[in-house]
Amino acid sequence: MNKILSLIKTDLNTSFGLSALQYKLTNKRDRFQIILFGIVILSVLPSYMMIVKGLSNLYEAYNSMGQESMFLLNGFLFSQMIVFIFGILYVMSKYYFSNDLNVLVPLPLKPREIIGGKFVSLMVNEYLTSLPIILPFIIIFGFTGEEGLLYWLYALILILFLPVIPLALASIVVMLFMKYTNIKGRKDLVRIIGYFVLIIGLLFFQLKFQSIAQNALMEGEDFFLKLARDSNLLVKRLGLSFPPSMWGALSLSSYTSITGLLNLILFVGLSIVVFLVNIFLSERVFFDGLIGNLEVSTFRGSSRIKASDYSKSYPAFIALGLKEIKMLLRTPVYLLNSVVGVVIVPILLILSTSMDGGQSIEGLNMLMKAYPHLISLIGAGLITFMGVMNCVGCTTFSREGRSLWIQRALPIRARDQILGRVLSSLFVQLIGILALLGAIAYLGFLSLENLVWITVLGILGSLAMAELVMIVDIFRPLLNWDNPQKAMKQNLNVLIAMGIGSLYIVGVGFLAYKLLGKIDILIIYGIIGFIFIFTSILLYIPLRKLIERQFQILEY
Q: What's the rounded Cα separation, in Å, for the pair 411 and 314? A: 14
Residue 545: alpha-carbon gap to chain centroid: 32
Per-residue pLDDT, averaged over 387-408, amounts to 84
pLDDT, tens digit, for every residue of 423-467? 999 998 998 899 888 888 887 777 888 889 999 999 999 999 999
Please answer whether residues 336 and 89 qualify as being in contact, where contact means their C-beta atoms are separated by less than 8 angstroms: yes
Q: What's the rounded Cα separation, in Å, for the pair 415 and 363? A: 47
Bridge partner list, 516: 519
Q: What's the rounded Cα separation, in Å, for the pair 545 and 556? A: 19
pLDDT of 50 above 90: no
More confident site: 539 or 32:
539
Angle between helix 164-180 and 187-217 (nearest 10): 140
Confidence of residue 422 (pLDDT cuts 50, 70, 90): very high
pLDDT of 293 above 60: no
Please answer whether residues 81 and 206 qualify as being in contact, where contact means their C-beta atoms are separated by less than 8 angstroms: yes
Confidence of residue 297 (pLDDT cuts 50, 70, 90): very low
Bridge partner list, 519: 516
Radius of gyration of the chain (CA): 25
Confidence of residue 213 (pLDDT cuts 50, 70, 90): low
Q: Write down the pLDDT at residue 496.
A: 84
The dihedral sign for the CA sequence 389, 394, 396, 399? negative
pTM of the model: 0.66
pLDDT, tens digit, for every residue of 121-171? 888 888 888 888 899 999 998 888 888 899 999 999 999 999 999 999 988
Q: Write down the pLDDT at residue 435.
A: 87
pLDDT of 34 above 70: no
pLDDT of 85 above 70: yes
Q: Write down the pLDDT at residue 221.
A: 45
70: which residues sit within 8 A by CB, 6+ positions away? 62, 234, 235, 238, 249
Say whether 147 sits in a helix, a strand or coil: coil
Q: Write down the pLDDT at residue 204.
A: 64
Domain ranges across the chain = 2-296, 316-553
Most confident of 128-142, 298-312, 487-501: 128-142
Q: Write down the pLDDT at residue 463.
A: 93
Q: Write down the pLDDT at residue 534.
A: 94
Return the number of other C-beta atoms located less than 10 Å from residue 552's C-beta. 8
Q: Per mean pLDDT, which range of 186-190, 415-419, 470-474, 487-491 is the poorest? A: 186-190
More confident site: 263 or 369:
263
Confidence of residue 228 (pLDDT cuts 50, 70, 90): very low
pLDDT of 194 above 60: yes
Please answer whether residues 512 and 524 qualify as being in contact, where contact means their C-beta atoms are separated by less than 8 angstroms: yes
pLDDT of 18 above 70: no
357: which residues sit within 8 A by CB, 6+ positions away? none
